[in-house]
Amino acid sequence: MKETMTSRQRVVEALNHRTPDRVPIDLGGFQTGIHKKAYEELIAYLGLKEDIVILDPVQQLAKPSEAVLQRFHVDVRYITTKGPDSYKDGIVKNTRNGRVWHDLKDEFGVVWSMPDDQQLYMDISHHPLAHATRENIKTYPFPDGGDPTRFAGVREKALKLRKETPYAISTGIGGVVYEYCWYMRGLEQWFVDMIENPAFCEALIDQTCRFWMDYYTGYMKEVGDIIDVIMIGDDLAGQYGPLFAPDFYRQVVKPRQKALVQHIKSLTKAKIWYHTCGGCKVYIPELLDNGVDILNPVQTSAEGMDPAELKKEFGDKMVFWGGGIDAQHILPFASPATIRDEVRKNMEIFKTGGGYIFNNIHNIQAGVPAENIVAMYDTAYECGFYDTK
């Protein structure tokens, strides 16, 4: 098989449900990335010597080098913004109860912490609105999503990628309308609020939605004519289906999400990529109605997420980005031979008729053997070509 398209052409064809020369491949995003420990082992296995750059401190994701991306035939490159000049980020080491912690306070006042003796992930250690009332929301210092200093230099970077490389360009993850509410409130209290205090929930979601509306207004002004994919997302489901009542989603969350998606679409022709883990099949029609074009990570091990059923029911309307291999039970533990079999099986289902971008289901975690990662990506490339005869 021979490649006949550039990476961007290949991705654009797939995103428009047409058949490219081969299935596009992704690695390196905030939900399609690789944990730093897995990356350390991978580059050693590949015989590469690199300084590891952290892409996301919360998830402890490494930024794959160009050498690794090219080795795996990755077709997508990412362009990201930064915090505004007024936000002084950075990880601070603190000692609590005889243990050293890495603490990061984000723009919304949420504190993320990771123990120094583990260094796997950051979890939330402080919810700034844990005891807030609805009145407190009105006076809380929410960040300014449209602060122009966020976007300084981003157009130049995007133009450089477009002019000097053949790759498709995607934003990093954003548009976290629902999930950031419980980050600020605390998950348990937020679940109580959804039942006992929905007015509080609506007031807080309105604030997060306003932030992202302003953010994408400024962002798309800079790169809306350059990029191909915009990544947004909120986890709506878990292993066995929705994480909360679908009626609450339809009455409270969906109207805000739909407004955001339609706002972004009024500013750019880029496709909208939506991330939710879990058994989210019940929400796919809702996401399509919102204007979402792409679903990630396609967690095939969750309830109701059979690849063949998903492709049959939604494959002509929704692009699937992920779903390449069971990341819970197979990728970390199986042999490379089993990895190859699983990738071939899923690839044959999802690739039919286009509308598919290959990736692992979510990020490659610490402990996944390097030989399994190589087997996954090499097989995806080898069996991803379409028969054009």
pLDDT-derived band of residue 389, with 50, 70 and 90 as boundaries? Answer: low
Least confident of 76-90, 147-161, 163-177, 274-288: 76-90
Question: How many CA atoms are closer than 13 Å to the CA of 126, on its beta-carbon side?
Answer: 12
Mean pLDDT of all residues in 171-185 = 97
pLDDT in tens, 204-220: 999 999 999 999 999 99
- Is the pLDDT at 92 greater than 70? The verdict is yes
pLDDT in tens, 6-23: 999 999 999 999 999 999
- Is the pLDDT at 48 greater than 90? The verdict is yes
Residue 349 sits in a domain of what CATH number? 3.20.20.210
Mean pLDDT of all residues in 224-239 = 97
**Using CA atoms, how far apart are residues 51 and 27, in angstroms rounded to an integer?**
18
Q: Are 230 and 274 a contacting pair, CB within 8 Å?
A: no
Range of the domain at 359: 7-383
Total domain count, the chain: 1
Q: Work out the percent of the chain whose per-residue pLDDT is above 70.
A: 99
The answer to whether residue 388 is domain-embedded is: no
The answer to whether residue 67 is domain-embedded is: yes
Other Cβ atoms closer than 10 A to 116: 12
Q: Which H helix or E strand runs over 42?
A: helix 36-45
Contacts of 245-250 with CB under 8 Å at 24 or more apart are 245/194, 246/282, 246/283, 248/194, 248/198, 249/283, 249/286, 250/286
- Is the pLDDT at 1 greater than 90? The verdict is no
Please list the residues that pair with 96 across neighbouring strands.
99
pLDDT in tens, 336-353: 999 999 999 999 999 999
Other Cβ atoms closer than 10 A to 53: 12
pLDDT in tens, 364-380: 999 999 999 999 999 99
The answer to whether residue 249 is domain-embedded is: yes
The answer to whether residue 123 is domain-embedded is: yes
The answer to whether residue 212 is domain-embedded is: yes
pLDDT-derived band of residue 89, with 50, 70 and 90 as boundaries? Answer: confident
pTM: 0.96
The answer to whether residue 1 is domain-embedded is: no
The answer to whether residue 321 is domain-embedded is: yes
- Is the pLDDT at 388 greater than 80? The verdict is no
Mean pLDDT of all residues in 328-343 = 97
Phi-psi region at 271: left, alpha or beta (left = phi > 0; alpha = psi -120 to 50): beta
The answer to whether residue 240 is domain-embedded is: yes
